[in-house]
Amino acid sequence: MSPEPIFAAARYWEARYAAEGRPWGDGPSELARLAVARLRPAVAAAEGGAGAGPSILDVGCGYGRDSRYLAAELGGQVLGLDPSPTAVAAAYRSARSALDVDYLVGDAAWLAAERDHAGRYDVVFAANVYHLLSPGGRRDFAAALAALARPGGLLFLSTLSPRDAQHYAVGEPVRGEERSWVGRVYLHFCTARELEADFDSFAVLDLEERGYEEHNPGGVVHRHTSWFLEGRRR
């Protein structure tokens, strides 16, 4: 398999957002719900001490559904980052004036190289991005998230598990890679050991394989199994 399908991912997502608009609806992802449940007690305690709320980076924000949810539930400042200009434009159109949310077109490696963003974020959030990246891209992605998180900052990440019945082994296998296929887009299904190795800059607080339902527009329900990683920047 030529590597070209892997590196065509940005074009795929730009075309998909342009054609479908909001393919997952406006509700939050499973990772966003988990992050809010884990973070809300600490945020409430900080607010009792006149805290300003966390600074949150939503990497691969798409059209901003999780960015808006995190800001609404946790307060603080949220920055959504996505390589698709169409998705970011849609996120701006859905912005709410009461929420402190901004958006940028770009990727994590680019943002990590910007001096004003390195080591800045209390929470780095990445829902369903890691499994779209090539082996080198996954390692670079992990390094960029580590560079963006402040020391002691938290990582929340979700990625497809090999137990995912919806997408696992769909498409053409990628030569020389385990658990990777190209269908409409490249997907890699990782192990817990891979995650722990790539994200070794974070102390793992929780790593859970979880099944859940994703309710898409039009009443379509997808059933997924993903890894959910929570880590603390060393």
Ranking 3-12, 123-132, 180-189 by mean pLDDT, the lowest is: 3-12
- The domains found in the chain, sorted by start residue, are 4-20+55-233 (3.40.50.150)
Q: Is the pLDDT of residue 4 over 60?
A: no
More confident: 30 or 98: 30
Q: What's the confidence (pLDDT) of residue 46?
A: 81
Contact (Cβ atoms closer than 8 angstroms) between residue 180 and residue 149: no
Mean pLDDT computed over 126-132: 97
Q: Indicate the pLDDT class of residue 9, thresholds 50, 70 and 90.
A: confident
Residue 55 predicted with pLDDT over 60: yes
Integer Cα distance of 134 and 121 in angstroms: 25
Contact indicator for 69, 36 with CB cutoff of 8 Å: yes
pLDDT at 2: 42
Residues paired with residue 64 on neighbouring β-strands, in sequence order: none
- Strand order from edge to edge, sheet including 221-233: 101-105, 77-82, 55-59, 121-127, 149-160, 221-233, 202-215
What does the alpha-carbon distance between residue 65 and residue 73 come to, in Å, rounded to a whole number? 12
C-alpha span between 59 and 157 (Å, rounded): 10
Which pTM was predicted? 0.94
Per residue in 179-224, pLDDT (tens digit) is: 999 998 999 999 999 999 999 999 999 999 999 999 888 888 989 9
Amino acid present at 169: A
pLDDT at position 1 over 80 = no
pLDDT-derived band of residue 48, with 50, 70 and 90 as boundaries? low
Closest to 165 in 3D by CA, of 224, 228, 226, 227: 224
Average of per-residue pLDDT values in the chain = 93
- Tell me what percent of the residues of the chain surpass a pLDDT of 70: 94
